[in-house]
């Protein structure tokens, strides 16, 4: 039954809250015990501070587990370390935004009172229940009576409490968006003009001279010309500040002890099976213990496998030695340790169910890695990063120079803790431990370079490329000015293209287009589309310069929407326009909220 499943998920969240409470007690007791010294924020369980307001590690952990579970439910399988990392970043950003929003909501009194919250829960069922067969009548429609019966069942209280928390968190956002929506009042003329802009269609013909069609060989130049261009346009060649790092990655690989511990867990499950009715209890133990999320909800059913299955071949070999109904294991594959049951056998194939115990990096292994990372940091401060790494048997990777403005660190990616460290640090500085789901990272700044313009000889090829583009633009402008004179004199586009074909001028046309369409060779170009849609039928534009080339446009036909069309589509159009503007304003506003005084302590607490 769906409520049973939802209750189990909610139990997970409640255990997380219990764990968070125990963690809170630990931090509080730790603070009292250590009265003589002032603990750092992260030592008190503070993950971040936003304008002086604290985000606790416990709250982050609770939200993260919810988000991970939601992701697993949506995907139908476990998540990768990379996916987990993205979820962590998203949860953290949302907590930053929510913390800032709280003050705003409090000032605007955008909160749900208990009476309103209860009315919403009673009359607006959670989305996950709306399509559940357990809550449908004989006609397949949602049955509110069944929903209210579930609502009155005390066993379901944790689930609906969780739903209430979601409502209290999300409704103020909707109320804020409603406030923004209320400010978007368009006059009838404004709506009509927006509709016309959106629905107007034109058919055009145009003359084009793309810069790329002009051969480099037509541009004559000397080294002196290049040097002069380089000196007259310094901003074109300016380089942002750069840094280079030395990096050590300590991968979180399970140790032999972790493998042995996982095997012991698998053996204990096998012992439990042997002491019970295998036929009855195997499926129950799958649900209780298996870490294979793809098969867990299907009683661990792997289906039929044969000797060609490379991943499960050890499982196949072990199963082929048993008979139907037997259980076996533990068997090790790249997935982990398996306890399995032979459901059926036929020539060369076996039908299996299994319980998977994954081999993960244990707390002792991670503690040893952290200790090694700490040793590296301490030793590097005395002997230098490379020498320290060599003494500890660790490989050093060098990033080479990378721009500090890119937000991306080679071998690492967009890692904020390291970015802040590099921006503030000096050559020789060693970073704190950067904690990732699958590794620890320690970095040292090898070099830093300020903003600079490289010497001409180093970037001569780049100077040449930009010089050629500039000269092609000048050439194209000159040619298209002559073309425009012929257009004004009434010469047809096709004859003009023939006249100037040796100067790379071409003629092209379109079917009916709107402002949102892509034109091959032109792209989505504001200058081109702006000029084209400003013309009336039969009118011709002046030369229009874009980043691709220069164009002269003639409108062959122009179709405006009618008032009748507008009135017919008005309600939907207005709704779309208001939602678009509201989402834009709300997104821009929340992005502004993310700025400010944010102290991020994640590197000290996570992983």
Any idea what the CATH number is for the domain that residue 427 is in? 3.10.50
- The total number of structural domains that make up the chain: 4
Most confident among 27-36, 122-131, 181-190 (mean pLDDT): 122-131
Domain residue limits at 292: 256-357
The helix or strand, by DSSP H or E, that contains position 339, with its residue range, turns out to be: strand 336-346
Same domain, 64 and 116: yes
**Residues in CB range of 273: below 8 A, 6 or more apart:** 281, 282, 285, 327, 339
- What's the mean pLDDT when you consider all of the chain? 85
Pairing of strands 544-545, 53-56: unpaired
Same domain, 313 and 342: yes
Which has the higher per-residue pLDDT, 274 or 471?
A: 471
Q: What is the rounded distance in angstroms from the CA atom of residue 519 to the CA atom of residue 303?
A: 51
Both tokens of 204, joined, read: 């055009």
- Is 497 inside any structural domain? yes
Same domain, 57 and 172: yes
For the entire predicted model, the pTM comes to 0.61
- pLDDT, position 493: 96
Most confident among 41-55, 127-141, 214-228 (mean pLDDT): 214-228
Classified as helix, coil or strand, 116 is helix
Same domain, 282 and 384: no
- pLDDT, position 592: 66
Tens of pLDDT, residues 371-396: 999 999 999 999 999 999 999 999 99
* Residue ranges with strand state E in 358-479: 397-398, 402-403, 434-436, 439-449
* Eight-class DSSP state of 451: S
At 104, phi and psi to the nearest 5?
Answer: -65, -45
Q: What is the rounded distance in angstroms from the CA atom of residue 391 to the CA atom of residue 563?
A: 80
- Residue identified by tokens 């007259």 is 232
DSSP string covering 223-254, please? Answer: HHHHHHHHHH-GGGG-B--EEEEEEEEEE---
Which has the higher per-residue pLDDT, 76 or 302?
A: 302
Ordered alpha helix ranges (H), 139-222:
144-152, 157-183, 188-199
pLDDT-wise least confident of 274-288, 359-373, 505-519? 274-288
DSSP string covering 259-292, please? Answer: HHHHHHHHHHHHHHHHTS-HHHHHHHHHHHH---
* Eight-class DSSP state of 503: G
Q: What is the rounded distance in angstroms from the CA atom of residue 355 to the CA atom of residue 295?
A: 9
pLDDT at 593 over 70: no
Same domain, 139 and 248: no
- pLDDT, position 594: 61
- Is 193 inside any structural domain? no
Which has the higher per-residue pLDDT, 587 or 17?
A: 587
Q: How confident is the model at residue 587 (pLDDT cuts 50, 70, 90)?
A: confident
- Is 572 inside any structural domain? no
Q: What is the mean pLDDT of residues 215-229?
A: 95
- Residue identified by tokens 């346009």 is 233
Same domain, 380 and 406: yes
Same domain, 247 and 370: yes
Angle subtended by helix axes 57-75 and 81-108, to nearest 10 = 120
- pLDDT, position 23: 42
Same domain, 34 and 149: yes
At 203, phi and psi to the nearest 5?
Answer: -115, 130
- What CATH number is associated with residue 264? 3.10.50.40
- Is 590 inside any structural domain? no
Both tokens of 380, joined, read: 């590097």
- Is 576 inside any structural domain? no
Q: What is the rounded distance in angstroms from the CA atom of residue 281 to the CA atom of residue 373?
A: 45
Q: How confident is the model at residue 176 (pLDDT cuts 50, 70, 90)?
A: low
Same domain, 371 and 385: yes
- Is 194 inside any structural domain? no
- Residue identified by tokens 């506003």 is 589
Hey, CA dihedral for 318, 321, 323, 324, is it positive or negative? positive
Both tokens of 600, joined, read: 């991020």
- Is 284 inside any structural domain? yes
Same domain, 146 and 72: yes
Same domain, 333 and 271: yes
Classified as helix, coil or strand, 379 is helix
Q: What is the rounded distance in angstroms from the CA atom of residue 419 to the CA atom of residue 406?
A: 10
Q: What is the rounded distance in angstroms from the CA atom of residue 494 to the CA atom of residue 489?
A: 14
The helix or strand, by DSSP H or E, that contains position 349, with its residue range, turns out to be: strand 349-357
Both tokens of 437, joined, read: 């789901």
Same domain, 163 and 287: no
Last-in-domain residue among 342, 357, 372:
357
**Residues in CB range of 574: below 8 A, 6 or more apart:** 186, 191
Classified as helix, coil or strand, 467 is helix
At 339, phi and psi to the nearest 5?
Answer: -105, 130
Percent of the chain with pLDDT over 90: 49
3-state helix, strand, coil in the chain (%, to 5): 55, 20, 25
State the burial class of residue 520 (Cβ atoms within 10 Å of its Cβ: 0-12, 13-18, 19+).
exposed
Tens of pLDDT, residues 64-90: 888 888 887 777 766 776 788 789 888
398 bridge partner residues: 246
- pLDDT, position 279: 64
End-to-end CA distance of the chain: 36
Does a cis peptide bond (omega within 30 degrees of 0) precede residue 330? yes
Last-in-domain residue among 523, 538, 559:
559
C-alpha angle with apex 366: 365 to 372, nearest 5 degrees? 90
- Is 38 inside any structural domain? yes
* Eight-class DSSP state of 596: S
Q: What is the rounded distance in angstroms from the CA atom of residue 127 to the CA atom of residue 391?
A: 58
């Amino acid at each position: 039954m769906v409520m049973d499943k939802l209750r189990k998920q909610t139990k997970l969240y409640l255990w997380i809250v219990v764990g968070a409470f125990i963690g809170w007690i630990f931090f509080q007791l730790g603070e009292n015990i250590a009265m003589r010294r002032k603990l750092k924020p992260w030592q008190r369980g503070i993950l971040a501070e936003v304008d002086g307001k604290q985000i606790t590690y416990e709250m982050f952990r609770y939200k993260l587990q919810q988000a991970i579970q939601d992701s697993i439910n949506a995907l139908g399988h476990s998540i990768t370390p990379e996916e987990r990392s993205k979820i962590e970043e998203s949860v953290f950003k949302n907590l930053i935004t929510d913390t800032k929003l709280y003050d705003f909501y409090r000032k605007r009194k955008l909160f749900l009172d208990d009476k309103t919250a209860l009315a919403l829960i009673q009359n607006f069922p959670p989305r996950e229940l709306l399509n559940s067969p357990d809550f449908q009548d004989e006609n397949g429609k949602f049955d509110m009576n069944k929903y209210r019966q579930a609502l009155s069942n005390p066993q379901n209280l944790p689930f609906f409490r969780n739903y209430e928390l979601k409502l209290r968190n999300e409704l103020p956002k909707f109320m804020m968006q409603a406030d923004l929506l209320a400010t978007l009042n368009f006059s009838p003329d404004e709506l009509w003009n927006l509709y016309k802009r959106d629905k107007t269609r034109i058919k055009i013909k145009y003359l084009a001279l793309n810069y790329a069609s002009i051969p480099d060989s037509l541009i004559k130049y000397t080294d002196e010309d290049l040097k002069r261009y380089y000196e007259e346009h310094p901003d074109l060649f300016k380089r942002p500040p750069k840094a280079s790092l030395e990096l050590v990655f300590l991968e979180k690989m399970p140790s032999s002890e972790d493998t042995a511990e996982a095997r012991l867990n698998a053996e204990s499950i096998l012992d439990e099976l042997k002491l019970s009715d295998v036929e009855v209890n195997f499926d129950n133990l799958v649900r209780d213990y298996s870490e294979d999320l793809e098969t867990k909800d299907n009683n661990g059913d792997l289906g039929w496998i044969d000797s060609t299955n490379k991943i499960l071949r050890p499982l196949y070999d072990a199963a082929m030695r048993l008979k139907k109904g037997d259980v076996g294991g533990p068997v090790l594959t790249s997935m982990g340790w398996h306890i399995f049951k032979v459901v059926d056998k036929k020539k060369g194939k076996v039908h299996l169910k299994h319980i998977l115990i994954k081999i993960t990096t244990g707390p002792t292994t991670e503690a040893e890695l952290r200790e090694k990372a700490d040793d590296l940091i301490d030793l590097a401060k005395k002997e230098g990063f490379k020498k320290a790494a060599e003494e500890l048997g660790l490989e050093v990777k060098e990033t080479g120079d990378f721009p500090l403005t890119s937000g991306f660190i080679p071998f690492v990616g967009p890692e904020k803790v390291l970015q802040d460290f590099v921006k503030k640090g000096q050559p020789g500085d060693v970073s704190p431990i950067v904690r990732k789901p699958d590794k620890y990272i320690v970095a040292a700044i090898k070099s830093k370079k300020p903003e600079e313009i490289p010497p001409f000889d180093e970037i001569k090829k780049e100077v040449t490329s930009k010089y050629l583009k500039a000269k092609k633009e000048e050439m194209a402008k000159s040619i298209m000015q002559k073309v425009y004179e012929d257009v004004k004199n009434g010469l047809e586009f096709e004859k003009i293209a023939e006249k100037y074909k040796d100067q790379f001028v071409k003629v092209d046309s379109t079917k009916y287009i709107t402002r949102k369409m892509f034109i091959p060779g032109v792209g989505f170009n504001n200058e081109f589309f702006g000029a084209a849609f400003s013309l009336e039928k039969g009118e011709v534009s002046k030369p229009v310069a874009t980043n691709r080339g220069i164009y002269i446009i003639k409108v062959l036909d122009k179709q405006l929407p009618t008032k009748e069309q507008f009135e017919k589509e008005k309600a939907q159009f207005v709704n779309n326009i208001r939602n678009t503007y509201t989402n834009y304003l709300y997104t821009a506003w929340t992005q502004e909220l993310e700025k400010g005084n944010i102290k991020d302590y994640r590197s000290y607490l996570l992983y």
